[in-house]
Amino acid sequence: METLIGKKAPEFKAKAVINGSEIVDFSLDQFVGEKEVVFFFYPLDFTFVCPTELLAFQDKMAEFEERNVAVVGCSVDSEFSHWAWLRTEQKDGGIKGVKYPLVADLSKTIAENFGVLAGEYQYDEAGQIRFEGAPVAYRGLFLIDKQGVVRHSVINDLPLGRSVDEALRMVDALQYFEANGEVCPANWKKGDKAMTASFEGVAEYLGDR
């Protein structure tokens, strides 16, 4: 799969549910020049690992907002499925209380364009089209900068939930680099010392370890 790192994020226009109840026409274009975006895919509404992830992102929304970062989720469900799930109490398997946008990718084209569709269409010997694999999205996450360029991505297999704290760490690293021009070494976190992008900077960093 060709990486999207360093490239413009694929454009789309789709239905989304925002604020837990309102269905709107939606595009990531609205954030260009204004905010970084954490755009993440999950397999399906009304499942098991997925609500833990979506609720974990909601629990950290204040921290994303402090950093002026938009969080947007997406799955191959319809906007009506999103709406119903968002209206279902958490004790009943729902995600009531999630306010950030959930994009509907019923055609699977957004997942395909971002390279996270867990399968593909093939022709069989009779010339009939069939889908091989799972017709859902892997757990892909993309950090998109204010210019609409993908700067970080991670894709997990369906059983493997993500770390929201790691998404925040990558936001901090990107924002620190853009503000200071220094690069962030392994396990860097906000408040740690960074490095200048030169051999001298590497030597200085290693000397302080």
Residue 165 CB coordination number (10 Å): 12
**CA–CA dist 43, 45 (Å, integer):** 7
Across-strand partners of 71? Answer: 38
Catalytic residue among 14, 17, 50, 167: 50
Across-strand partners of 102? Answer: 17, 73
Q: What DSSP state is assigned to residue 162?
A: P
- 50 classed as catalytic: yes
Residues listed for the chain: 209
Phi-psi region of 46 (alpha: psi -120 to 50; beta: other; left: phi over 0): left
CB 160 within 8 Å of CB 149: no
The catalytic residue positions are 50
